Homo-oligomer: A and B are copies of this chain.
């Protein structure tokens, strides 16, 4: 089987993780990544055998730092079928014409406006609809987290409404110029936060979200109140989530009481960069009251969208025709857990 050829524009938090993930796929080939800064990440990429491409006017800057690029961004685009756009939020749209010019399909990230792509995408919600599309937009980390649970819940009952709170990490671990250091910041102070609107780009549901930023770097946390059409039991929901790919139930009684301990788990599992692409639901937080369901989950902002990006490649390239197929392959290659943590 000839593999689909993919490039990545942007090699930051998301781009470098997708690069690693692609290199574990049997049906996808990473041709190269586009970088604009000749920094340590370029050196590590080269050490790992990843080809670097740059905008034409950056060639000299890279050569001066001893990083010899494999060519320009146009060179890369002429060799590939699909580009993953992992440029900073709002930048992807400025490349759209260039991608089109080279007749390359594009997978954008959640930092772009929905109009950038033919469809906003989450594997559990609309994989089949995404098949063969010219461009997709993988929604952001918080939206991906909410959609994994909501698109699962709607399989057992129509959803009447969702009222959630997003407790956001202030900065990623490597970021040194962001805050707050000691404050809670409504962000935005208006309601709803954009997360509700972003969920609606994929799932038609009555959802309102509030968001605050807090001084931590590790993960986001959501508190979710949902009202369904049908009555459910706590056990229904626990079983449902335990049966869903990319959702892992975690148990505070075995020492997983906080986002810090979840990251320690990822470190102990030997995961590269302590990544947690699973959505982590605190098992004992799941509660029901008739038609109401509520729970808390933790979201690893740096890595949760990685599996959905791999699936998005398969969707536009029509490498898999059902969500189950791509999920099985992605999750096996990336060693993604689900169910309850057990040895």
The interface of chain A, by Cβ under 8 A from chain B, is 163, 165, 167, 169, 180, 182-186, 189-192, 208, 210, 212, 214-221, 223, 225, 252, 257-261, 282, 284-285, 287, 289, 294-296, 298
Is A163 a contact partner of B208 (Cβ separation < 8 A)? no
Chain B residues lying within 8 Å of A186, measured Cβ to Cβ, are: 221, 252, 257-258, 282, 285, 296
Chain B residues lying within 8 Å of A258, measured Cβ to Cβ, are: 180, 183-186
Is A219 a contact partner of B184 (Cβ separation < 8 A)? yes
Question: Least Cβ distance of A141 to chain B in Å?
Answer: 15
Question: How many copies of this kind of chain does the complex include?
Answer: 2
Question: Least Cβ distance of A255 to chain B in Å?
Answer: 12
26 A-B pairs within 8 Å (CB atoms) are namely A163-B294, A167-B214, A180-B258, A182-B217, A182-B260, A183-B259, A184-B214, A184-B216, A185-B260, A186-B285, A186-B296, A189-B257, A190-B284, A190-B285, A190-B287, A191-B294, A191-B295, A191-B296, A208-B225, A210-B223, A210-B294, A210-B296, A212-B221, A214-B214, A214-B215, A215-B216
* Among all A-B residue pairs, the 6 with the closest Cβ atoms: A183-B260, A214-B214, A185-B258, A191-B287, A165-B165, A210-B223
Chain B residues lying within 8 Å of A190, measured Cβ to Cβ, are: 284-285, 287
Question: Least Cβ distance of A223 to chain B in Å?
Answer: 4
Question: Least Cβ distance of A92 to chain B in Å?
Answer: 28
Whole-angstrom distance between the alpha carbons of A191 and B189 in the complex? Answer: 25
The residue on B at minimum CB distance from A294 is: B191
The residue on B at minimum CB distance from A282 is: B189
Chain B residues lying within 8 Å of A221, measured Cβ to Cβ, are: 184, 186, 212
Is A167 a contact partner of B284 (Cβ separation < 8 A)? no
